[in-house]
Chains A and B, each alone.
Chain A
Amino acid sequence: MFPKKMVMIVGVIVLIAVNIILLSVFNRRYISYYGSGKIAISIVAPFQKATSTSIRFVRDIWRHYFFLVSVAKENERLRKDLNRAFEKNIQFKDFELSNARLRNLLNFQKTITDRVLAAEVIGKDPSPWFKTVLIDKGKRDGVEKGMAVVIPEGIAGQTTEVSAHYSKVLLIIDHNSAVDALVQRDRARGIIKGGSAGQCLFKYVLRKHDVVVDDIVVSSGLDGVFPKGLAVGYVSGVIKPKSGIFQEVTVTPYVDFEKLEEVLVVLTPKKHEFEREK
């Protein structure tokens, strides 16, 4: 009835349309494919762990035993100390500001220090278009979907898929990621989204706020995933358009995602509990 070529063309068009619709459905509603996801991660992750452990073992031997043993160790220790001091400094600054502002307004309950779990990065995303990593801790270690993943320099990402022994972490530089954040100095609020070239976009920051380059951006804690006051990055670019209500702010994360090897999973995210009025 119809020429074969015509049928072929229509078939391909229908196939493409169905394909786009299916992808759109999966994209809008993140479905955690517990069955297939768990199996696939369980197949691949042990090999990834064995390989990355071997690579690190060889590299560590080289670094620590053949290449300036003492200097490397000293350097590593100092770097850790510096990172810790850096993190503390940012936290203290944030605590100082929030204390001064809120002391008279709210009766804050003393929050318990978050429980964290150290994990190793065992694999990175196969595609340069998406930014995720696999870590070697899973459900059996207490990790759950939607937990914050941090390192001393700042926020790294959050867990999006958890199998028995391994988890997938969506990094903050992925364009699907969103972190509720504040500018530490003037408390301008916005959403940190993944941008291009390892940078983040600080979206929905109102034009009225005086955000300047080098301002520190910290997590607000309002997304219920990341504890409040953790460093995200520093402002590296601000564009105030002539029209519109928001300004375009670019944030450079403190975390070097190319060198991400060990991370901390925050097991009990801080809940801001306000004492009820008696």
Chain B
Amino acid sequence: MTYCYHVCICLFLIIVQTTVMPYIPLFQGFYDLLAPFVIYLCIFRPLRESIPVILFFGLVMDTISGGTFGLYLTTYLWLFIGVRWVITFLHVGNNPLLPFIVVAGVFMENLIFVSSSVIFEPGLRFTSEMSITIGVQVFWAIFTGPMFLLFFNYSFGKWDKRVKEISTRKVDR
């Protein structure tokens, strides 16, 4: 049931960012919504639960995106490794630190995308438009990133509680 929650949330985030957000001009240039979800998995969920979800949705994102195959998978795995490393010496369960973690995650994701484009596309240069895109994403991440993390944590808590209630009722019968 835990995986079911993760799959539903990831699907919801993918649909929102590929279908709903393009209709709203304000959200053009918004960051990848799966990045805060990966960060949420790193901080709040166990390793064995997070890895399959990251692998599966990394592949899904690679398929629906036009980038090099494996780019999203790479990005999510490095994001996962990076955040796991950070939480070994930073107590990020503390809410004030969450914006910085999300911003660092979004920045890292963009850095990997831009680096891969510059490395694999001969003649492609880092332009001012690229820095503006990264800047806008970081700006959004500062204000909305922690909210996403708290929402994921809260909704999972509710989901888990509900599932436990249902299974207890079944056992009682």
Contact call B66/A124, Cβ cutoff below 8 A: no
Contact call B15/A48, Cβ cutoff below 8 A: yes
- Measured CB to CB, the nearest residue on chain A to B16 is A51
Contact call A160/B63, Cβ cutoff below 8 A: no
Contact call A134/B20, Cβ cutoff below 8 A: no
Provide the bound-state CA to CA distance between A22 and B78, in Å.
15
B43-51, B93-101, B114-122, B149-157: which lies at the A interface?
B114-122
Q: Which residues of B contact A122 (CB under 8 A)?
A: 19
Kindly count the residue-residue contacts between A and B in the assembled complex, taking CB atoms under 8 Å apart: 115
Provide the bound-state CA to CA distance between A160 and B64, in Å.
11
Question: In the complex, which of the residues A33, A127, A168 contacts B32, with contact meaning CB atoms closer than 8 Å?
Answer: A127
Contact call A196/B129, Cβ cutoff below 8 A: yes
Known contacts: A27-B120, A51-B15, A123-B18. The answer to whether A41 contacts B129 by CB under 8 A is: no
- Measured CB to CB, the nearest residue on chain B to A8 is B85
Q: Which residues of B contact A132 (CB under 8 A)?
A: 64-66
- Asked if A52 is at the interface (CB within 8 A of a chain B CB), the reply is yes
Question: In the complex, which of the residues A23, A40, A125 contacts B70, with contact meaning CB atoms closer than 8 Å?
Answer: A23
- Asked if B108 is at the interface (CB within 8 A of a chain A CB), the reply is no
A 112-137 contacts with B by CB, 8 A: 122-132, 134
Rounded to whole Å, the gap between the CB of A166 and the closest CB of chain B is 10
Contact call B64/A168, Cβ cutoff below 8 A: yes
Known contacts: A40-B59, A51-B15, A55-B20. The answer to whether A126 contacts B64 by CB under 8 A is: yes
> Could you tell me which B residues sit within 8 Å of A by CB distance?
11, 14-15, 17-20, 22-23, 28-29, 32, 34, 59-61, 63-71, 74, 78, 110, 113-114, 116-117, 119-121, 124, 127, 129-130, 133, 137
Besides the contacts A24-B120, A126-B14, what 5 more A-B pairs have beta carbons closer than 8 Å?
A: A43-B11, A122-B19, A126-B65, A128-B133, A129-B113
